[in-house]
Amino acid sequence: MTPIIEFKHVSKAFDDKIVIDNLDLTIQKGEIFVLVGPSGSGKTTTLKMINALSEPTDGDIYFKEKRIKDYNIQKMRWQMGYVLQQIALFPTMDVKQNIEVIPEMLGWSKKDRNEAVDRLLNQVQLDPEQYRHRLPKALSGGEQQRIGILRALAANPEVILMDEPFSALDPISRNALQELVLDLHKELGTTIIFVTHNMKEAIKLGTRIAVMNKGKIVQCDTPEVIIAQPKTEFVKTFFEETGEDEAKLVKVADLVAMGYCSKDIDQTLEQVDAQTVLNDTFGRFAKVPALTIIENGQAIGTLHHQDVFAFLSRDTKIATE
C-alpha cells in the first residue's frame, strides 16, 4: 500500500506538559484509520497536526512524502476535508452555500458547483429540491452533520479528518452516519482519519485502529487482531468496556437469528459451529475474512468479521442467560 500520512519521531508539548511522545505512525492511502483512546490521550492533537492546526514540538509529519511544513498550508488544507464534533455550518448560509465553500474558493464554475451539490445531496438521501436552500437551523442535528460531511467531501480531497463527529448525536443518528461513512468510503475510497473515544465505533469503522494512551500509541492493528490479541492490559480493558463480556455469552446462532449473517454458502471457507460463542471466533478472524456456519451438520450461512463487528458496535445489548 501507499503511505499518505507519516509521523516520524513526533512530539508535542504545551508549556512543560508532553501530550504527544515520540510518535511514529504511517497511514496508508485509502484506509479508514481510527485513533481511539480516553480523553487526554492525544487523539485530537494528533489529528490537528495533520492539517497544521497544531505544530509538532519535535519531529516531522509528511503528507504524500513531503513534509507538511514545506507546503503552502492553505493550499494543502484544500486537499483535506475536516469534520468536527461541533456542527460548524455557517448559520446565515443555506445548505448549498455551505457545501460549495471550498469549491468556490478553488474557482469552480457555478455549473460545476451546482452539479456537485446536487450529486452529494443525492448520495446521502437528501432531496436537493427540498434541502438545497434550507438554512442550518431548519435541519435536525443528524442532517446538519450530513451537510458537514458533504462540505468536507465537496472538493474531492485526498484525506478527510473527522474529530468525534457523531458523539453529540442520538444513537439512531450516530448509527446512520456511521453507515454513511462506510458507504461513502466504499464508493469513493477517500482516506479517512477518524478520532473517537468509543471502541465500538472504532471497531465498526476502522480498517486499522491505533489505541492511544498518554500521548503514545499502545497498539496499532486491524480490529480483528486488536480484539483477538490485545497487547496490553489497557487495550484489553478498553475493549472489555465495549462488549467483550457479551461476546463471551452470545453465540453465532444468536447472530443468525438476528439477521446479522449472510445466507449465502461458500463451501471453500473454514467452518464454525453455530453454538460457538463469539469470543471464540475473534482469533480465527485474524486469519480469515469469513466462516461457514454449521448447524446439525448442515451449512446454514456465512459469518463475516463485519457481521460480528456490526453486532458488537450496536447501541443496545440483548438479554443473555
Q: Give ranges for CATH 3.40.50.300 in the chain.
A: 3-243
Q: Give ranges for CATH 3.10.580.10 in the chain.
A: 250-315
Q: Do residues 299 and 292 make contact, with C-beta atoms less than 8 angstroms apart?
A: yes
Summarize pLDDT for 92-103 with one digit per residue, the tens: 999 999 999 999
For residue 296, give the nearest of 321, 315, 271 by alpha carbon.
271
- What pLDDT, on the 0 to 100 scale, is given for residue 316? 55
pLDDT higher than 50, residue 320: no
CA atoms within 13 A on the CB side of 51: 21
- Of 60-69, 183-192, 232-241, 275-284, the range with the highest mean pLDDT is 60-69
- What pLDDT, on the 0 to 100 scale, is given for residue 134? 96
- What pLDDT, on the 0 to 100 scale, is given for residue 247? 64
CB count in 10 Å sphere of residue 122: 11
For residue 62, give the nearest of 6, 113, 133 by alpha carbon.
6
Q: Do residues 257 and 238 make contact, with C-beta atoms less than 8 angstroms apart?
A: no
pLDDT higher than 80, residue 282: no
Q: Which three cell numbers stand for residue 216?
A: 503514545
- Residue 321's pLDDT band, with cuts at 50, 70 and 90, is very low
Instruction: Quote the pTM value.
Output: 0.80
CATH fold of 250-315 reads CBS-domain (3.10.580)
- Residue 307's pLDDT band, with cuts at 50, 70 and 90, is confident
> What mean pLDDT comes out for the span 158-181?
87
Least confident of 26-35, 232-241, 243-252: 243-252
Could you tell me which residue, 303 or 168, shows the higher pLDDT? 303
Least confident of 30-34, 43-47, 114-118, 257-261: 257-261
Which residues partner with 12 through β-bridges? 20
Averaged pLDDT of the chain: 88
Q: Do residues 160 and 180 make contact, with C-beta atoms less than 8 angstroms apart?
A: no
Summarize pLDDT for 204-226 with one digit per residue, the tens: 899 999 999 999 999 999 988 88
Could you tell me which residue, 128 or 174, shows the higher pLDDT? 128
Beta-carbon contacts of 114 under 8 Å, excluding residues fewer than 6 positions away, are 96
Angle at 280 between CA 278 and CA 282, to 5 degrees: 80
Could you tell me which residue, 241 or 14, shows the higher pLDDT? 14
- What pLDDT, on the 0 to 100 scale, is given for residue 124? 86
Residue 99 CA to residue 178 CA, distance in Å, equals 20
Q: Which three cell numbers stand for residue 245?
A: 463480556
Top-tier CATH class for 3-243: alpha beta
